[in-house]
Each structure stands twice: as C-alpha cells, then as structure tokens.
Structure 1
Amino acid sequence: MAFTWEPITFANLIFCIVIVILSYWTFKKIKNIAILYIGAAFGLFGLSHLAVLLGYESSATILIIARSLAYILVILALIKAAYRN
C-alpha cells in the first residue's frame, strides 16, 4: 500500500468534506433529514476517494459498494425532499 498522489482525487476528497460539513450545518438550521442523507452520501464518496489516495484502488469491490450506497442515499434524499410537507 502506497500513497498515490492524484490531484483530481484529492480535490474531490476536499469537495466531499466541504459538502459533508455544509450538510450538517444546513441540517441543524432547517431540520430536513434529506440533507443528512446527502451529507452521508458525500461522506461515502469521500471515503472512496481517500481509499484511492491511500493506495487501496485494488480493492475495487469495496469502492463500488461504498459508491453504490452513496448513490442510494442520494436517491433517498431526493425522495424525502420531494415528499416533505
């Protein structure tokens, strides 16, 4: 396992961290659970980017599972937001 520097992957990780933080702050302000789903999804995306940066890109199955769960969370967030009263 070796650290692999990929600037675009690092930038994606930073964006994911920012979105997670903003999602948490937004949730505290408006109390919409869909916002937490979005934050959790981007947390999973961020973990997959971190795994690639740390040299775990050979663990493709784990990365696919993490990203698939993130997509599911985004879909749930959109559904929750659509049916919010």
Structure 2
Amino acid sequence: MPSCFILVTSSFADDTRVTRKMNRPTQEDTVLLQEDLNTIYRWAAENNMLFNESKFEALRYGSNNNIKEHTYYNTTQDPIDVMSDLRDLQI
C-alpha cells in the first residue's frame, strides 16, 4: 500500500483492514476517508490488483451518532455494507 495516507492499513493473509482515526468526527472527516479509499482503489488499479468488493464491510464506533447514521462509504461500484460487528481472524 502507498504511504501517502493518514489512515492505517493492516493485512493478515489475504485480508486488508483500513482504519482512520477521527477525534471529533465531522462531515469533512468522512469525505477524507472516502478520498483515502479512492486513492487505494487507484493504487490497486495501477498495480493490476483487484479487491473482492463483495467482502468489504464498514464498522463504525464512537459517540457521534449523526455521523455514523448519515454517512456511507463506497467501493469503486457500490456502497460498503455497514456492520454492527465484524469477525476478526487475527490473533
């Protein structure tokens, strides 16, 4: 992954996780996260990589319910499904 992000990426086996810390989430923060995702998609395309976008999941946590309930992130094609919990295979 390119190192031009403010977000954190981690990988385990063939899974990759993207995280962005938002101290006081604002609409601007959500736009920045989508821009970071778009950068990852461009990087993948430039490197002849494909993501399995059907496996994408978003997990939101924190106290700003307005941001959590009214923002969505997209893959190159579709909205990313929002989950209340995620299965994590990392040890």
Q: TM-score range by the shorter chain?
A: 0.3 to 0.5
**Structure 2 length-normalised TM:** 0.33
Highest RCO, 1 vs 2 (Cα 8 Å, sep ≥ 6): 1
- Structure ID, larger Rg: 1
| Structure with the higher fraction of residues in strand conformation | 2
| Higher relative helix content | 1
